[in-house]
Structure formats: C-alpha cells, structure tokens
Amino acid sequence: MTAAGHEPERRPGGEAGEHPREQPEEDAASLPVLLEAVLSVGSELELRATLQHIVESATELCAARYGALGVVDPERALLTELFTSGLTEAQRAAIPHLPDGRSGLLGVLLKDPRPLLLDDLTQDPRSVGIPPGHPPMHSFLGVPIRVHTEVFGNLYLTEKRGGGPFTDADLALVRVLASQAGMAIGNARLYETARRRERWIDGAAAVTTALLAGAPAADALRCVAERARVLADAAAGVVLQPTPEGGMEIVAASTQADPGDLVGTAIAPGSPVLEQLLGGEAVFIEDSAMDPRMTTHVRERFGPSMMLPLQSGGQLIGTLALPRARGGPPYDAVDRLLASQFATHAALALVLADAQHDREQLAVYEDRDRIARDLHDLVVQRLFATEMMLESTRRRASNAPSGDTVGDELGRAVDELDSTIQEVRTAIFALQQPPTDAPATFRGRVLRETSGAAVLLGFQPSVHFAGAVDALLPEPVAVALLSALRTALAAAHRRGEATSMEVVVEATSSRVRLTVADDGRTASGPRGTTVTWESAL
C-alpha cells in the first residue's frame, strides 16, 4: 500500500492497469539486490559520494539503462545538481546543458512530488525540454527522495533493459531504496555540515589570531578577504568600506590571480544594492552579471554572490563580498549561514584589533609624554641653571683686562646653551604630537614641514620658536608663513652642499618673522644663505 497523498501516477501510454505489472518471481529475485542496495547506500559519509552511489544502485536495482538524481533547491524550485548513471563521458559531453527542472517531466516531479511511472515518455505531452544530444528514452520511473519531511531531490530512471516498461515491482523497490536513501542523505548532510562548520570556525579563529597579532589595517582586511574566499570556494573575496560620498569602495581583495583591478572599484551612491549594505543587511545574488542591482564594471566576470555586513555592536565596519565565477554553483542555506557567522566573528575581531592598536598607541603616547616631562623637569631646568651661572660669570669677567677672551668664550657658551634649550623644547613639543595625525597647532605644522625636508636635505634642520606663535598667528598669516618656509627649504635643497640649517619663528603682538639660514653654497661661490620673511599681525 502507498501512503496517503503519495499515490503513484501511472501513464502506460493509456490508463494504469491495461496490462499486469505484478511479477512475483521477479520480486523474490530482486530482494537480495534490494538488500544489498539498501546496505550500500548507507556506507558513505561524504554527501556527493552518497548521491552518486544512490543513483547507481537504483539503476542496477531496476535494470535501467540510464539514471539520474536531481538535487532540489526548495527556495527557487529548480534542480541545482544532477548526478547521472549510464551516460558515457562522450554522451555527457554531447549534451550542452543538463535540465534544471523548470519544465518537462523533471519539472512535474518538482511541482508535484509523487512517484511517476510512464511506459513511453515520448507520448506524454508534458515531456518537453529534453536537451539535444541526449540518448533516446521511452520507459520512465520517477520517485522523490525525502529527508524527514523535506523533498531533497528526485530519482529518475529511464529505458528498462530488454525494452519493456518499468513495473509496479520496480516502483516498489525504488520507493524502498528512496526511503533508505533519505536517511543516508540526512546522515551525510549532517556530517558534511559539521565538517563545513568546523572549517569556518577554524578559519574564524585563524583570522582572529592574525588580526590580534598587530597586523596593519590594510593587511587585516586582506586577511579577512583571503580566508573567506578559500572557505566559501569563491572566485574572489573583497572587503568594501563606506566612502565619504555615500557609496562603498573595495579596499581589500583576494583572488587566485592579481586582484589589482578590483581594489578601488566603487559602488556609486544610489545603487539599488547599496541601501541594503549600508543598512547592515546581507544581500544574496544568483548571478552578478545579470542582476540589475549590480552596477560595477567587474560584475561581468562573476556569478552567484554573497554580500555580508561586517558589523559589531551596531557599528558597520564594511561589507564582505564573496562572488563565485560565472556558471558556478549557487550558495545554499548552509553556506549563507556559516558565511554570515564568519562575517560577524571577523567584524568583532577587527573591532578588537582596532581597540588593541589604540591601546598600544596610547601606551606609546604615555611613554612619550613621560619622556617629555623628564626632559622638561630634568634636562631643561639643569641647562637653564647652568646658563644662569655662566651668564653671571660672564658679567664678572667683563671687568677683566682688555684682550682677555674669557668673556667672549663664556658668551659663546651661553649662546650654545640657549640654543640647546630651544632645541630640547622643540623635541618635547614633537614628542607630544601624534605621529600619524595631521598637526593641529602651528608649531606642529612647522615641525612637519622641516621633518619632511630632512629626507631630501639629508639632515634635520634646527627649529626655534620665540613668542606665543600658536596663540598669536591668525590662519591666513600662518598659511603664508608656511608657504615661505617651503620655498626656503626647497631653495636650500636645490643649492645643495648644505650641512646645517636653522629655522627661527619669532612672534610678538604686532609682527611675526621667519628666518631660514643654511650653510649651503650660493651661485656666486660663498657659503651661507639667510632668507627672511616678515608680516604684520
């Protein structure tokens, strides 16, 4: 007896029952073959091997010339894979494309998953869409394979050997085999899902370890893209980040070839897919090249794609996109779930790595601040005290007999100490500036210009400030002074042969003066050049 709701549909060319199908002797002979087939389909744990074994066992069990097992995608109501038996390599190569179940008898079983038995499928009006190059077929038997209550796929057998039709006994045997196959497939799916989950978890752990090892931001994003591409078996892995204009741009990419043409590709503001991405929603695309939502020029080379938000604690870091090549297999529900979990884990790791980097930078700033305090409290105060002692000595020596050079020497010593104090104070100020940030003060901007020039000059210019330059200089005057400083630095570099340079910025309540002096050789021959720039405040 058949279960309610699963009564087989029989079309022998006329009505069911036109000729007897019961063959007791054949049934008894088939039992050992059935038992062997039932035992063999449960012997594999790998899903693809299990599916191929099922279709081969069914073909042998019912003495069919050809067999196929189509895997159903319930979301799209079509076949995503087709495992075949009986077709030679040459016959399979002669078929331009395997049916996807959108039409024909394969589509009938998709829409109405009940056993189907036909004496001659060529006489059935529903038998359409057979691809060119397929071997001729007449007798047909189709049975759905269920995993629990879900239709996993359909088993198709054609061309009973000997030329006769498939019998009710064949149908009963295949239904028993399909029932056992459903359990075997369920076990294989659990095993494969566990293995895939393990790989994704290992990948997420590897990404976390790499990110927390202190890699630069660009390397961290590239690590996420590379690991996700390998795990998803994708043609590319890319990370996009929001742009100031409101779009998204690829900032890191991983492909088997050179990914250089991907980096910098932007999704323009207003793109249909952009609103979902910026809102932190995942986007799943069947064919990137044909989907109207995709607007980038690189979409032509890709097929199925996942675009997953990288967000943690409500913070959107970017988007992880994993496109497969044109014609590649679509992502199934397990792929989407595992990749989404990986993206969430990677986003958290990126946030933690960024926080760790901030802590390390803070530790550097605190250490530099301590050094600056030590320089100020110890070195500058001692130098200043020494300068005062020498200044007092120089004044007493001024009463010495004429021709005595002690006073001159003391004067030079005082000048040197004063210059040293100015340079130490400049060093203290430089230590207090974040090394990678644009300076917010005028002093910092002057120091940045001179530090940049040091690379070309081959030495670090000496910089001195007199007066409250940060408080006194308005922005237009500061911009003009910096321009004059750049000009003087460039001129010194062009002249060449300079070994030292002194930059002095003096500010009062009414005027500011810039003096740049170097010992380079001028065009006329003598060494030493001084450039002065002055402006009223």
Residue whose token pair is 């740049």: 516
pLDDT value at residue 130: 77
pLDDT surpasses 70 at 281: yes
Please classify residue 216 by burial: count the beta carbons closer than 10 Å to its beta carbon, then call 0-12 exposed, 13-18 middle and 19+ buried.
Answer: exposed
pLDDT band at 20 (very low <50, low <70, confident <90, very high): very low
Which is nearest to 483 in space by CA: 520, 519, 446?
Answer: 446
Least confident of 23-32, 33-42, 81-90, 174-183: 23-32
414 lies in some domain: no
Residue 163 structure tokens: 């030329």
**Residue 154 falls inside a structural domain:** yes
130, 79, 65, 147: which is closest to 109 by C-alpha? 79
Q: What local confidence, expressed as pLDDT, does residue 533 receive?
A: 92
Using alpha carbons only, give the angle 40, 177, 39 rounded to the nearest 5 degrees: 20
Mean pLDDT (the chain) is 78
The pLDDT of 30-50, averaged and rounded, is 69
Whether 157 and 35 map to the same domain: the answer is yes
Highest mean pLDDT among 182-186, 395-399, 420-424, 530-534: 530-534
Q: Is residue 504 part of a domain?
A: yes
Enclosing domain of residue 74: 9-193
| Residues 48 and 180 occupy one common structural domain | yes
State how far the Cα of 101 lies from the Cα of 116, in Å rounded to an integer. Answer: 15
Pick the last residue of a domain from 297, 314, 346: 346
Q: Is the pLDDT of residue 117 over 80?
A: yes
Q: Are residues 112 and 247 in the same domain?
A: no
- Smallest CA-to-CA distance from 179 within 414, 46, 3, 396 is with 3
Q: What is the pLDDT of residue 21?
A: 47
Same domain, 457 and 503: yes
Q: In whole angstroms, what separates CA 56 from the centre of its chain?
A: 41
Same domain, 315 and 443: no
Q: Is 4 helix (H, G, I), strand (E, B) or coil?
A: coil
223 and 145: one domain? no
Out of 293, 324, 346, a domain closes at 346
Q: Does the residue 78 lie in any domain?
A: yes
Question: What CATH number has the domain bearing residue 293?
Answer: 3.30.450.40
Q: What is the mean pLDDT of residues 390-395?
A: 73
Residue 229 shares a structural domain with residue 130: no
Most trustworthy range by pLDDT among 68-82, 149-163, 516-530: 149-163
Q: Which two tokens stand for residue 273?
A: 């897919």
Nearest to 2 by CA among 206, 143, 97, 192: 143
Question: What mean pLDDT do residues 493-504 have?
Answer: 82
Boundary residue ending a domain (284, 316, 346)? 346
In a domain? residue 1: no
232 with 329, same domain: the answer is yes
Specify if 526 maps to a domain: yes
- Indicate whether 515 pLDDT > 90: yes
Give the residue, 36 or 67, on which the prediction is more confident: 67
- Of 125-134, 289-298, 465-474, 489-498, which has the strongest mean pLDDT? 465-474
* Same domain (yes/no): 152, 285: no
Read off the pLDDT of each residue in 471-489 and give the average, rounded to a whole number.
87
pLDDT tens by residue, 45-100: 778 888 888 888 888 888 899 998 888 877 767 777 888 898 888 888 777 777 76
CA distances from 44 to 39, 184, 190 (A): 10, 8, 12
Q: Read off the CATH number of the domain in which 490 is found.
A: 3.30.565.10
Reply yes or no on whether the pLDDT at 452 is more than 70: yes
Alpha carbon distance 276, 269 (integer Å): 12
Q: 2 pLDDT band (50/70/90 cuts)? A: very low
Q: Is the pTM of this model over 0.75?
A: no
Q: Is the pLDDT of residue 488 over 50?
A: yes
pLDDT in the model for residue 504: 92
| pLDDT (0 to 100) of residue 514 | 93
Instruction: Provide the domain count of the chain.
Output: 3
Secondary structure letter of residue 293 according to DSSP: T
Mean pLDDT of the 157-177 span:
87
Query: Is residue 295 a part of any domain in this protein?
Result: yes
Q: What is the average per-residue pLDDT within 103-118?
A: 84
Burial pattern 304-334, b for ≥16 Cβ within 10 A else e, equals bbbbbbbbbeeebbbbbbbbbeeebebbeee
Both 36 and 144 in a single domain?
yes
**328 and 466 housed in the same domain:** no
pLDDT digits (tens, 9 = 90+) for 395-448: 777 666 655 566 666 666 666 666 666 666 666 666 655 555 556 688 888 888
Higher pLDDT, 275 or 239: 239
Domain check: are 186 and 41 in the same one? Answer: yes
Asked if residue 378 belongs to a domain, the reply is no
Residue 3 has pLDDT above 50, yes or no: no
| pLDDT category of residue 512 using cuts at 50, 70 and 90 | very high
pLDDT value at residue 407? 64
Highest mean pLDDT among 336-350, 409-423, 488-502: 336-350
